[in-house]
Each structure stands twice: as structure tokens, then as C-alpha cells.
Structure 1
Amino acid sequence: MNVFVIRHGETEWSLSGQHTGTTDIPLTDSGRRQAERMRPVLARHTFALVLVSPMQRARETCDLVGLGAAAIGDPGLIEWNYGEYEGHTPQQIQAKRPGWLIFRDGCPGGETPSQVGARVDQVVTRVRAAKGDVALFAHGHVLRVLAARWIGLPPRAGQHFLLNTGTLSVLTYYHEVPAVRVWNGHAAD
């Protein structure tokens, strides 16, 4: 089994560095091109299951790679709820709360790392029950937690998995041990 983990393409807020959780914004033209570049790579595979965050930036990415018709919305893949930090950049947050780290501290009025981890664990259970390859379309922070949970690490370990927009990663198994095959790759990788 290979789990193709796709972070949506660029948005205006990912470009500016603003935390985009519940704000439902579209891809930029560049973000659409990022998604389209993944189409030939994903077209070489057959998927037993395609899950997508209900947010339009993830759905649009899924549609542009040609898997939208097969996709099932999964609220477990929605981005971290940033609460009071929604729309703020890391620099703005650090000015108010020096030393803040989302994977340790969570967000006031939003989600804690353990809450995101619990959501992601449900997605991982669903993925592991699939009979074949899976594609997941979602967002940066939630997918970083997913990578950590896939290999048995706590949600806070997501801090070690940097993830750019419009990227393709692959989770799999090494014998029976959950493993990361590719992380933060581009369609040409």
C-alpha cells in the first residue's frame, strides 16, 4: 500500500504566510499550476480510496489532478483550527507570544495538538483499512501531524516534517512497519 499525501497548491495566504485553517480561500494561478503538474504522476496509479478535506483549496487541487470524481470529503483532513491565530503570520503570533510553537502549544480558541492527533488517527485507521493505494488531499499542518502519527510518533513530532504547497509525499510500509517513502516532493521528483 502507498498513501499519496498531497498538500494543496498555493493560496494568497500561504504565499503571505498567514495561518489558513477555517478560512475557505481558493488557489492562486500558481497553485493551480502546481496541482496540474501532479496530474501525470497520479494518473499512473489506481486508487482504492481518495479522501479530501472539504476546504475548496484542497478540493480544487484534487479536481485539477483528475481525482475529484472519486474523492470523498473527510472532515478529519481539515486544517488545524487556528482559533484566535487564524489569518495571522508566525511573526505576528511570536510578537504576542514569544516562543510559541503550534505543535507544542496549539491555538487559543482553536485546537490543541492532541485534538488534531485524534482527528488524524481516525483518518489513519480509515486509510489502513483500504485495499490498495490511497490519495489524501489536505493542508500543511494537519498532514505533518498525519505523517507523525503514521509512523507512531506523537502529534508534536509533526514539527519535524516541513511541507510546502503543491507537494506530493508517499507513506508506505517497510515490511510491516509504517514508513515514509517520499516527503515534500514535487511532481518532477
Structure 2
Amino acid sequence: MANPKIAIIVSSTRPTRFADIPTAWIRAQAEARGDMDVEVVDLRDYPMPFFDEVASNAWAPTQDPTAQKWQKKIAEFDGYVFVLAEYNRSLPGVLKNALDQAYVEWARKPFGAVSYGSMGGANSLGHLQNIGVELQMAPVRNNVRIGGGDFFKVHPGFGGSGNLSDVEASILPSAKALLDDILWWAKATKAAR
């Protein structure tokens, strides 16, 4: 059986985003395992309008060509790891819009996150999990949360090093658990689909 194909979805499109640092780090962790194929999917590459279709693509075909391209890309994967910013105690609007632009493609697939912010992206992660359940996705238990002193130690915008290896001891066990969960659920749901 081929390795499950996992998307690492970058949730922020801001020019000054922190997301690139944890994206590169979790990608390296996943690739080092050799038991999953990973691809970074950056929302910057899918500048979709705010959701304005007649209905979800579960009920009516999507008209917007960029949203169609997004749906086609998302459909390729067996599971998802979101690199998840927290903005004002929730997830970025651009991610919510991207989640709404697909439905069929998300269903019956696992997801987890590398979330970050002063509180480790806890609120953003909770919102993502609720949305994922509505999209018939399977949220995994283990996630990586970069918060508090670790977040500020690494975030270049706050004088940090820009290097997650500086805090790796506190997040590596969570990354292993996250990727273990994603792999198990991706295999199980792929077989069931």
C-alpha cells in the first residue's frame, strides 16, 4: 500500500506571517519518518473570493475557478495538518473561507494542527476542530501547540530567533504523537472510503 498523502496547510496569508517557520519544521518531521508523503499547500496560492456560491459543493457545483482548483487540490490528500495561527481568539478568516469552499473533499479524512499564539493557539484549534466535525472530518487528539515563552522565544517579530530548534524539546513529543495519529487515521479512513 502506498504511503498516505498528507497536506500541510498554511492558514495565514499575511506578508509578515510566522507560519513559514512551523511549516518548515513540521514538514521536516513528517518527511523524516518515511511513512507518509507530505506536501505544503499554501492558501496564498488560492486567492478565493469570500464564499458566495449558491450552496456548499455538497449540494451544488462550485462556480468560482479558484475554488474549483482548491477543491481539486484538497481532494488529493488522505489527511491534513494545519499550521494554524490564532487571530483574536479564533482562526484566520482566510482559513475559514477555504474550509467553506470545499465540503465533499474534506469528508471522512483526519486532521490535526500545529497551532501557535500566546496561548498556543488553543482557541483557534478548538474552532478548527468544531468546523472540521461539521465537515465530517476526523479530528485527532494530539496536536502541537506553540505558546507562551516558546512562541515569543522563536517569533522574529517579538525578537525571537526564528528557529524552532530552540524550543524543540518541548514540542517534539507532541509532533510525533500528532503525526502518529494522522498516519493511523489516514490509513483507516482511506481503507474505509
Greater RCO (Cα-Cα under 8 Å, separation 6 or more):
1
Structure 2 length-normalised TM: 0.40
